[in-house]
Amino acid sequence: MKKYLMLAGLCLGIALSSCTSTVKEVAQAILNTTSTNKPIGVAKFYSLPDGKMKMDLEINFPERADSTVAVHFHEHGDCGNMGENAHGHWNPTNEVHGKWGSAAYHSGDIGNIKLDNKGHGTISISTDRWSIIANDAKNIIGRGIIVHGGTDDYTTQPTGNSGPRVGCGVIEAVK
């Protein structure tokens, strides 16, 4: 009986370790303020076993405590000129701007994040709209992530009237 329990435990351990090894961090972006280049957050991207990608985004922005900020992927990974060098929203599918998961939205329309009384907020998204494959239209590597100073109204085209660019980061592959 003892041997069976040991064998069962070994099999369970192998099964669990093989499950966790298929989720792998593949990219990240360090977010900084556009005005002082002070760190305000991180976005981590994971490859999932079903072929999708997952992003876990965490913001720690005390200056924006008790507010809501909009976050979008932008075309270029250049945070210069107060984030303006990132240009417009990343929209490889040429859809109208909207709310993530609605009938139509940009692949970079992440949405609004409510920050608590310390300026902390998170969002997690899993999707098949992103990849890290070179020359793929869905490739997120080298894109900018912009934190806007206002909320996204999900209607105004093409940006959601989200306010100034107060934070920026560049999505880079993790090696």
Name the residue with higher pLDDT: 2 or 37.
37
Q: Could you give the number of structural domains in the chain? A: 1
- pLDDT of 18 > 50? The answer is no
CA separation (Å) from 144 to 14, 17, 30, 61? 39, 34, 10, 18
pLDDT band at residue 2, thresholds of 50, 70 and 90? low
- pLDDT of 112 > 80? The answer is yes
Residue 4 covered by a domain:
no
In CATH, what number is assigned to the domain containing residue 65? Answer: 2.60.40.200
Residue 44 covered by a domain:
yes
Residue 18 covered by a domain:
no
- Tokens 């270029």 -> residue: 76
The rounded percent of the chain whose pLDDT value lies above 70 is 88
Residue 166 covered by a domain:
yes
- Tell me the C-alpha distance between 128 and 107, whole Å: 10
Residue 81 covered by a domain:
yes
- Tell me the C-alpha distance between 152 and 112, whole Å: 6
The mean pLDDT value of the chain amounts to 90
pLDDT band at residue 22, thresholds of 50, 70 and 90? confident
Q: Residue 98 is part of which domain span?
A: 23-173
Give yes or no for a contact between 168 and 79, defined as CB atoms under 8 angstroms apart.
yes
Residue 83 covered by a domain:
yes
